[in-house]
């Protein structure tokens, strides 16, 4: 099977819905996108490995490789898109539409379109002149849980020398990125009547101590680390959500807080 034209690959990728969402009713399998990519990669002489994500649900990663050994160049992207709001689209989101020299479609930029560019570029390379492996990695669930990326991290034999990730960056090459950690801290105390504090353990009061420590850490991070390539040059820590207790006259038995942290590359604390 010959490789379809650039625009045909682009159209087929956009026409294959692959929405990721936290809500189960919006979530889709990405299998159709993975199968398209695997077929095209095989046409270009790649060996394909399709890996189903742990926990099933029809999500797959694709790792395609042309050439032997370690090293080489990996071209990586995700196959899923966010859901779409019908009322805010002027075109069918699953039909690639050209208008004023721009292409519109769900995932056209972020980032199924990337694979059309990659495959078309590779089709124009002379395979005989290739001295190191080329890898194409297409992952699942980037827009929600990162489950695809997490699974590929466990791959026993994936050691490219360089990697290009085709996320949109307004045509500016981005060579480093902050990390992202989102987590919850839950304090479980002991509830009781507010008139007798000694019989309980107030989770909000304990959380107050946790927050004090976190605020100290936040300031430390801000003053200790800096990389000027970032618009916000220091690591950030955000207290995003807190909930605890049920009534003014009860000792709070449980308090939960959600935090978000964006560390700098090579950050060790």
Any idea which residues carry the catalytic annotation? Answer: 80, 142
User: Which residues fall within 8 angstroms of residue 226, CB to CB, at 6 or more apart?
Assistant: 233, 234, 264
Give me the least distance between CB of 180 and Zn ion, in Å please.
13
The residues with which 214 forms a beta bridge, in sequence order, are none
Q: What is the DSSP string of 62-128?
A: EEEEESSSS-SEEEEEE--B----GGG-SS-TTS-EEETTEEESTTTTTTTHHHHHHHHHHHTS-GG
Instruction: Tell me whether residue 149 or residue 185 sits nearer to Zn ion (CB atom).
Output: 149
Give me the least distance between CB of 164 and Zn ion, in Å please.
14
Give me the least distance between CB of 80 and Zn ion, in Å please.
9
Strands (E), the chain: 47-52, 60-66, 73-78, 97-99, 102-104, 134-139, 162-165, 181-188, 192-193, 236-244, 250-251, 254-262
Total of chain residues touching Zn ion, rule CB under 5 A:
3
User: Which residues fall within 8 angstroms of residue 71, CB to CB, at 6 or more apart?
Assistant: 132, 133, 159, 160, 161
User: How far does the chain reach from its first CA to its final CA, in angstroms?
Assistant: 53
Residue with tokens 């504090």: 197
Give me the least distance between CB of 247 and Zn ion, in Å please.
44
Instruction: Tell me whether residue 49 or residue 167 sits nearer to Zn ion (CB atom).
Output: 167
Stretch of 37-45, 102-110, 155-163, 210-218 lying at the interface with Zn ion (CB under 5 A):
102-110
What binding mask, one character per residue, do residues 180-219 give for Zn ion by CB under 5 A, x or -?
----------------------------------------
* Among 110, 135, 152, 218, contact with Zn ion (rule: CB under 5 A): 110
Stretch of 3-11, 27-35, 159-167, 184-192 lying at the interface with Zn ion (CB under 5 A):
159-167
Give me the least distance between CB of 81 and Zn ion, in Å please.
8
Instruction: Tell me whether residue 110 or residue 141 sits nearer to Zn ion (CB atom).
Output: 110
Instruction: Tell me whether residue 111 or residue 221 sits nearer to Zn ion (CB atom).
Output: 111
Q: Is 80 in the site for Zn ion (CB under 5 A)?
A: no
- Three-state secondary structure call for residue 211: helix
Residue with tokens 């801290």: 185
Instruction: Tell me whether residue 81 or residue 202 sits nearer to Zn ion (CB atom).
Output: 81
Phi (first) and psi of residue 126, to 5 degrees:
-90, 110
Stretch of 48-56, 116-124, 152-160, 164-172 lying at the interface with Zn ion (CB under 5 A):
164-172
**What does the alpha-carbon distance between residue 235 and residue 173 come to, in Å, rounded to a whole number?**
21
Instruction: Tell me whether residue 176 or residue 215 sits nearer to Zn ion (CB atom).
Output: 176
The residue with its CB nearest to Zn ion is 110
Give me the least distance between CB of 20 and Zn ion, in Å please.
10
- Tokens standing for residue 88: 């805010």
Pair 137, 74: CB distance under 8 Å: yes
Applying CB under 5 A, the residues found at the interface with Zn ion are: 110-111, 167
């Amino acid at each position: 099977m010959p490789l379809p034209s650039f625009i045909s690959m682009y159209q087929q990728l956009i026409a294959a819905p692959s929405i990721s969402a936290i809500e189960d009713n919006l979530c889709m399998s990405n299998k159709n996108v993975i199968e398209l990519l695997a077929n095209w990669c095989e046409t270009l002489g790649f060996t394909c490995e399709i890996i189903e994500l742990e926990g099933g649900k029809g999500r797959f990663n694709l790792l395609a490789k042309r050439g032997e050994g370690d090293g080489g160049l990996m071209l990586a992207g995700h196959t899923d898109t966010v859901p779409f709001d019908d009322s805010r689209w002027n075109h069918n989101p699953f039909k690639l539409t050209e208008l004023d020299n721009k292409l519109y479609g769900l995932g056209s930029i972020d980032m199924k379109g990337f694979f059309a560019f990659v495959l078309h570029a590779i089709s124009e390379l002379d395979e005989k002149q290739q001295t190191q492996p080329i890898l194409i990695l297409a992952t699942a669930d980037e827009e929600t849980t990162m489950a695809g990326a997490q699974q590929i991290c466990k791959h026993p034999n994936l050691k490219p020398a360089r990697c290009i990730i085709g996320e949109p960056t307004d045509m500016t090459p981005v060579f480093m990125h902050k990390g992202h950690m989102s987590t919850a801290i839950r304090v479980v105390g002991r509830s009781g009547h507010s008139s007798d504090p000694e019989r309980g353990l107030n989770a909000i009061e304990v959380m107050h101590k946790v927050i004090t420590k976190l605020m100290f850490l936040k300031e430390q991070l801000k003053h200790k680390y800096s990389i000027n390539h970032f618009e916000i040059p220091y690591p950030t820590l955000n207290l995003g959500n807190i909930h605890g207790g049920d009534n003014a006259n009860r000792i709070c038995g449980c308090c939960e807080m959600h935090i978000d942290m964006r560390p700098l590359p090579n950050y060790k604390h």
